Homo-oligomer: A and B are copies of this chain.
Amino acid sequence: MSADVPRRNPRKVSASVTRGGAPAQERKLRSQGKETLRRLLDAGMVTFEKRGYHAARVDDIVKVAKTSHGTFYLYFANKEDLFWALISDVTEEMTALSASLGPVGGGRKGYEELRAWLDKFWDLYRRYAPVIRAWTEAETSDSEMGTFGTQVLSRFGRRLADRVRESEHPAGIDPDVAALAMVAMIERFNYYAVTRAVEIDRAQLLDTLATILHVGVFGGTRNRRLEQAAGS
Contact = CB atoms under 8 A, between A and B. Distances in A.
Interface string A210-232: 01111111010110011000000
A44 interface: no
Given A140-B137, A197-B150, A204 B184 contact: no
Contacts of A14: none
A134 interface: yes
Query: Within the oligomer, what is the number of copies of this chain?
Result: 4
Interface of A (DSSP majority class): helix
Number of chain A interface residues as a range: 35 or more
Given A200-B177, A215-B170, A195 B146 contact: yes
Contact of A198 (B180, B182, B187, B196): B180
Interface string A76-109: 0010100000000000000000000000000000
Interface of A: 1-3, 51-55, 57, 60, 78, 80, 133-134, 136-137, 140-142, 146-150, 153-154, 157, 170-174, 177-178, 180-182, 184-185, 187-189, 191-192, 195-200, 204-205, 207-209, 211-217, 219, 221-222, 225-226
